[in-house]
């Protein structure tokens, strides 16, 4: 069977629990490249044994970060790139949709936002809030802008929570990208505690917040300006988006994300109270 003419770029760092399943789910694609950040476990070894090409990435603390570096330097042989984490894999519907997109010589869109099917607390969530990521990109038409975020004291090597800028039309897929995190739920809270630090620094600086907002999805831009965000998000996710239909996991997820937004607000107020400004740390 002819392979789908797209290159997969998988971001990894100590992902030995997930990487084999991730690579196996991508067998229909022409090229799979794992971009590993100096893993200390068997991630690189298992990825190579599964048939992926493995390249190493060491961040120097400056622009570009990991995804933009790949857009500039990863040796892909296809014009279309699908960015994935090791705990993500495309549904069969999404695989077929991507195949049609990248094989169409008349396709004029240069990037696609992909909705995420989230796995939380042992259950696939079919309702509630759905995250959307701009993960399918045509090379040469997309880039992660240097927004000045690297001046923040909590930045890491990977661009998170903001989207690449597209030089052209952007579409949205119907098919879903499955996010199946095999780590214990405490790691979700560990990550989001770090994310809330990052978001708080951004929210404490009005100019930076406007810059980052402009690089988010339309959904993210709208939600960024919603007042009483923890309560508003809980109502939106659990009631409006019918998260209650997912049972206890739906309730837990809505509460967890509402708590995340509460953390952002609490940390932002503390930074403002202490007079923190990005310009003072540039």
Amino acid 221: pLDDT = 75
Asked if residue 8 lies in contact with residue 22, where contact means CB atoms within 8 angstroms, the answer is no
Amino acid 153: pLDDT = 81
What residue spans of the chain are helical by DSSP H?
A: 19-24, 43-49, 66-73, 92-102, 185-203, 206-214, 218-224, 229-234, 247-273
Distance separating alpha carbons of residues 16 and 53, to the nearest angstrom = 15
**Residue 214 φ then ψ, to 5°:** -65, -20
Asked if residue 161 lies in contact with residue 132, where contact means CB atoms within 8 angstroms, the answer is no
Q: Which structural domain range is residue 247 located in?
A: 4-281
Amino acid 282: pLDDT = 57
Q: Is pTM, for the whole model, over 0.85? A: yes
Asked if residue 12 lies in contact with residue 38, where contact means CB atoms within 8 angstroms, the answer is no
Amino acid 167: pLDDT = 96
Distance separating alpha carbons of residues 43 and 11, to the nearest angstrom = 11
Please state the domain count of the chain: 1
Residue pLDDT, tens place only, 148-159: 778 788 888 988
Distance separating alpha carbons of residues 56 and 44, to the nearest angstrom = 9
Query: Higher-confidence residue: 202 or 141?
Result: 141
Residue 105 pLDDT > 80: yes
Amino acid 99: pLDDT = 98
Mean pLDDT calculated for residue range 258-275:
94
Among candidates 133, 130, 77, which has minimal Cα distance to 102? 77
**Residue 114 φ then ψ, to 5°:** -120, 120
Distance from the Cα of residue 162 to its chain's centroid: 8
Name the band, by pLDDT with cuts 50, 70 and 90, for residue 214: confident
Asked if residue 88 lies in contact with residue 178, where contact means CB atoms within 8 angstroms, the answer is yes
Amino acid 8: pLDDT = 98
Residue pLDDT, tens place only, 106-139: 999 999 999 999 989 888 999 999 989 999 999 9
Residue 181 pLDDT > 80: no
Amino acid 175: pLDDT = 97
Residue 220 pLDDT > 80: no
Question: Which residue is associated with the tokens 């008349």?
Answer: 106
Could you give the C-alpha distances from 99 to 2, 76, 83, 270, in angstroms and in order? 11, 17, 15, 48
Name the band, by pLDDT with cuts 50, 70 and 90, for residue 278: low
Mean pLDDT, rounded, of the chain: 91
Amino acid 279: pLDDT = 64
Amino acid 281: pLDDT = 59
Asked if residue 199 lies in contact with residue 270, where contact means CB atoms within 8 angstroms, the answer is no
Asked if residue 169 lies in contact with residue 141, where contact means CB atoms within 8 angstroms, the answer is no
Amino acid 280: pLDDT = 65
Mean pLDDT calculated for residue range 9-23:
95
CATH number for the domain including 185? 3.90.550
Distance separating alpha carbons of residues 31 and 198, to the nearest angstrom = 33
Among candidates 18, 71, 9, which has minimal Cα distance to 36? 9
Token pair for 8 = 């997969």
Out of 16-25, 153-162, 262-271, which region has the weakest mean confidence (pLDDT)? 153-162
Distance separating alpha carbons of residues 128 and 234, to the nearest angstrom = 9
Residue 182 pLDDT > 80: no
Q: Is 219 helix (H, G, I), strand (E, B) or coil?
A: helix
Out of 19-28, 75-84, 216-225, 231-240, which region has the weakest mean confidence (pLDDT)? 216-225
């Amino acid at each position: 069977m002819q392979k789908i003419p797209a290159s997969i770029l998988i971001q990894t760092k100590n992902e030995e629990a997930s990487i084999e399943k991730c690579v196996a789910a991508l067998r229909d694609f022409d090229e799979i490249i794992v971009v590993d950040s100096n893993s200390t476990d068997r991630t690189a070894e298992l990825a190579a044994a599964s048939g992926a090409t493995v390249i190493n990435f060491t961040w120097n603390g400056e622009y570009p970060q990991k995804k933009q570096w790949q857009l500039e330097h990863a040796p892909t042989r296809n014009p279309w790139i699908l960015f994935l984490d090791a705990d993500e894999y495309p549904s069969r519907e999404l695989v077929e949709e991507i195949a049609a997109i990248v094989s169409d010589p008349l396709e004029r869109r240069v990037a696609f936002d992909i909705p995420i099917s989230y796995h939380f607390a042992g259950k696939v969530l079919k309702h509630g809030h759905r995250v959307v990521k701009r993960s399918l990109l045509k090379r040469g038409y997309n880039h992660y802008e240097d927004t000045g975020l690297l001046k923040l004291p909590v930045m890491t090597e990977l661009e998170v929570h903001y989207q690449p800028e597209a030089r052209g039309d952007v579409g949205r897929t119907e098919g879903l990208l499955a996010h199946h995190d095999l780590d214990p739920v405490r790691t979700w809270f560990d990550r989001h505690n770090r994310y809330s630090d990052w978001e708080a620094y951004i929210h404490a600086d009005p100019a930076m917040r406007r810059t980052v907002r402009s690089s988010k999805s339309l959904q993210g831009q709208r939600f960024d300006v919603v007042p009483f965000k923890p309560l508003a998000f809980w109502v939106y996710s659990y009631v409006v988006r019918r998260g209650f239909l997912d049972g206890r996991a739906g309730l837990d997820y809505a509460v967890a994300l509402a708590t995340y937004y509460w953390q952002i607000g609490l940390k932002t107020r503390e930074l403002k109270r202490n007079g923190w400004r990005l310009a003072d740390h540039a």
